[in-house]
Amino acid sequence: MTASASNLWDAAAAGVLRLPSGRLVRGRGLRRPLPPGPQPTFGLYLLGRRPADLPWESRWLRWPDFRLPADRAEAAEAFREAWERSAGERVEVACAGGRGRTGTALACVAVLDGVPAGEAVAYVREHYDRHAVETPWQRRFVARFG
């Protein structure tokens, strides 16, 4: 990775997932306050409705709670953008609660980083949140991603 450490997340900060390549991505729930520390430089927001404007660059992916993304091709493109940008930027992936949709997206980003699709949910549950990826269809979505 060529980015300077000052451009990235603190690996020990709450919600930060270290991918096998060493890239860092922060997951969080938007119902909770913004964590202390640096702000994201890019955010991917997984919500049923467009979020309010943010002071950093962001992308909205229409994704109703407990469901799957409305447009799977757009979702794959958004996950790839988050993964690519995480090489040198502070990327945040978030939904309302920070577990189901966020965990599913983080698992797909982990697949892009080299985690086998069949192991990505377990990886995210071990390294991000043990309750991540909440529904059977979210688990199947990850298993079929890539």
3 pLDDT higher than 80: no
Check if the beta carbon of residue 100 is closer than 8 Å to that of residue 66.
Answer: yes
80 pLDDT higher than 80: yes
Q: What is the 3-state secondary structure (H, E, C) of 66-95?
A: CCCCCCHHHHHHHHHHHHHHCCCCCEEEEE
Tell me the C-alpha distance between 122 and 107, whole Å: 9
Tell me the C-alpha distance between 75 and 85, whole Å: 15
Domain range annotation of the chain: 10-143
Q: How confident is the model at residue 6 (pLDDT cuts 50, 70, 90)?
A: low
7 pLDDT higher than 90: no
Tell me the C-alpha distance between 18 and 10, whole Å: 10
* Average pLDDT of the segment spanning 70-74: 96
pLDDT value of position 14: 93
Q: How confident is the model at residue 132 (pLDDT cuts 50, 70, 90)?
A: very high
* Average pLDDT of the segment spanning 132-144: 97
- Burial of residue 18 (CB within 10 Å: 0-12, 13-18, 19+) is middle
Each residue of 82-123: pLDDT tens digit?
Answer: 999 999 999 999 999 999 999 999 999 999 999 999 999 999
Q: How confident is the model at residue 5 (pLDDT cuts 50, 70, 90)?
A: low
1 pLDDT higher than 80: no
Strand partners, 85: none
Tell me the C-alpha distance between 12 and 79, whole Å: 23
Enter the pTM of the model. 0.95
Each residue of 10-42: pLDDT tens digit?
Answer: 999 999 999 999 999 999 999 999 999 999 999
| CATH of span 10-143 | 3.90.190.10
